[in-house]
Amino acid sequence: MPPTPLIASDAHLGHDGLVEVVGGREVACYESPARASAIREALLATGDFVLEPPTDHGPDPISAVHDLEVIDVVEHAWTDAVADGWDPERPLLPDTFLLRAYAAGMALEQLPPARHQRLGAYCFDTGTPIVAGTAAAARAAVDIGLTALDHVLAGAPLAYALCRPPGHHAGRTLIGGYCYFNNAAICAQSLVDRGSRRVAILDVDFHHGNGTQQVFWERGDVLYVSLHGDPAASYPSFSGFALERGEGAGEGATLNLPLPPGTDGAAYGATLREALDAIRAFDPDAPLILSLGFDTYHADPICNLALVTGDYAGIGAAVAGLGLGVVALQEGGYAVDALGANAVAFLGGLREGIADR
Ligand code: SP5
Ligand code: ZN
């Protein structure tokens, strides 16, 4: 089997948030540049991947998913803050969050003009810092995803997008969960804009992709299927419950499969079969968009499932069994020392599954 395109760039190195506030403490960002370096080195060392740079797809695919007001904030919050005297050594986190309860219907014109002062109108948590290189890294991650998609549309059965920052928590006007632009949603929307009528997104990151769900909530043309830690016990806490199934034309095109803490590979595999059956029933006419996280790993520092490295090969092979082209986009995974081995196992299983079909 020919080598699999691995799309990556060094733009992510400029996005190092330094700290997040979690559990009442300021801690070093779990979502660190070292994550991407570990994955890239491990995949290239197998000899089964060929490194490709992203190509520039411009701003339109981003604005097809995100409102201009939040793109504007991601693009300019840092420079506005620095112009306002912000210490460039410190990451930007919101001091206040705009809640409907106290500002119902607050219009865009009423928000402060400086984009850093608007941050809390869009950001939903204290883990998503902005620094000098954040906007460029977020744009590059989108281009990395779209370039992987281009490879699959040109005939590659699989392409891997080493996106950093990740994307699946970013909604139409929301940033959070280490995410700014929703790389997977942008790829799915790009497929629709090129004429696909049934696009499936499978999300195997530990966390529920609340952003992806929100973007396609009322859409019947994009199926969103997610396996994730039960939100009753895990971030993002307010979405990902099994009862959430989409609305209007999208009713039934969202499938949430929450998993209890401690779920192991066998139980995960059984739930994955349900997810894959739903995708088969939907009968996609486009490549699969795969939101791929390794935070389901037993030793992940912020999550609570119990997968081991060997489990990822089986999950990858099962996904290959769909018979679809696969655009795999990196989301989370914070056990940095295990990320390389887990990526090699998952993508190796996918490659073998593709070779066998
Ligand atoms: C892309 C992605 O994986 N984003 C995840 C963002 C999670 N951030 C919140 C972390 C809260 C962790 N709570 C930890 C409890 C540890 N016992
Ligand atoms: Zn995650």
Q: What is the mean pLDDT of residues 16-25?
A: 92
Q: Is residue 15 flagged as an active site residue?
A: no
Report which bound ligand comes closest to the CA of 141: 1
For residue 56, which of 146, 159, 132, 138 has the smallest C-alpha distance?
146
Please choose from 27, 32, 126, 207 the residue to mutate so as to test ligand 1's pocket, defined by most ligand atoms within 8 A of CB: 207
pLDDT at 129 over 90: yes
Give the contacts of 182 (CB within 8 A, at least 6 positions apart).
65, 66, 167, 168, 169, 170, 171, 211, 212, 215
Q: What is the pLDDT of residue 101?
A: 65
CA 180 – ligand 2 centroid, Å: 14
Rounded distance between C-alpha atoms, residue 54 and residue 74, angstroms: 20
Report which bound ligand comes closest to the CA of 235: 1
More confident residue, 17 or 80: 80
For residue 178, which of 75, 25, 331, 8 has the smallest C-alpha distance?
331
Q: What is the pLDDT of residue 136?
A: 98
Going by their DSSP bridges, the two strands 158-161 and 288-292 should be labelled as unpaired
Query: Atom 1 of ligand 1 has which residue's CA nearest to it?
Result: 332
pLDDT at 223 over 80: yes
Give the pLDDT confidence of 169-194 residue by residue, as tens digits. 999 999 999 999 999 999 999 999 99
Indicate which residue of 57, 116, 151, 169 is catalytic: 169
pLDDT at 94 over 80: yes
Q: Which residues pair with 20 in a beta bridge?
A: 27
Q: What is the pLDDT of residue 63?
A: 98
How far is Cα of residue 176 from the mean position of the Cα atoms in its chain?
Answer: 11
CA 302 – ligand 2 centroid, Å: 9
State the chain's maximal CA–CA distance in angstroms: 59
Rounded distance between C-alpha atoms, residue 217 and residue 63, angstroms: 18
Q: What is the mean pLDDT of residues 331-355?
A: 98
pLDDT at 104 over 80: no
Query: Atom 15 of ligand 1 has which residue's CA nearest to it?
Result: 302
Q: Band of the pLDDT at 71, cuts 50, 70, 90?
A: very high
Instruction: Verify whether ligand 1 is closer than 6 Å to residue 17 (CB atom).
Output: no
In whole numbers, what is the pLDDT of the chain averaged over residues?
97
Rounded distance between C-alpha atoms, residue 348 and residue 354, angstroms: 10
Atom of ligand 1 nearest to the CA of 166: 1
Give the DSSP per-residue string, 308-349: -HHHHHHHHHHHHTT-S-EEEEE-----HHHHHHHHHHHHHH
- pTM given for the model: 0.98
Query: Atom 13 of ligand 1 has which residue's CA nearest to it?
Result: 302
Please choose from 26, 228, 235, 298 the residue to mutate so as to test ligand 1's pocket, defined by most ligand atoms within 8 A of CB: 235
Q: Band of the pLDDT at 122, cuts 50, 70, 90?
A: very high
Instruction: Verify whether ligand 1 is closer than 6 Å to residue 331 (CB atom).
Output: yes
Instruction: Verify whether ligand 1 is closer than 6 Å to residue 167 (CB atom).
Output: no
Q: How many CB atoms lie within 10 A of CB 67?
A: 15
Q: What is the pLDDT of residue 23?
A: 87
Q: How many CB atoms lie within 10 A of CB 275?
A: 20
Q: Side chain identity at 354, as an amino acid letter?
A: I
Cβ-count burial of 277 within 10 angstroms (0-12 exposed, 13-18 middle, 19+ buried)? exposed
Q: What is the pLDDT of residue 17?
A: 87
For residue 276, which of 311, 209, 229, 322 has the smallest C-alpha distance?
322
Give the contacts of 270 (CB within 8 A, at least 6 positions apart).
none
Strand extents, DSSP E, 105-234: 158-161, 199-203, 222-229
Q: How many residues are present in the chain?
A: 357
The separation between the first and the last C-alpha atoms of the chain, rounded to the nearest angstrom, is 12
Query: Which run of H or E residues covers position 44?
Result: helix 33-45
Atom of ligand 1 nearest to the CA of 295: 3
Q: Band of the pLDDT at 102, cuts 50, 70, 90?
A: confident
Q: What is the pLDDT of residue 357?
A: 86
Rounded distance between C-alpha atoms, residue 339 and residue 254, angstroms: 28
pLDDT at 107 over 90: no
Report which bound ligand comes closest to the CA of 204: 2
Q: Band of the pLDDT at 238, cuts 50, 70, 90?
A: very high
More confident residue, 110 or 209: 209
Q: Which two tokens stand for residue 135?
A: 């906007």
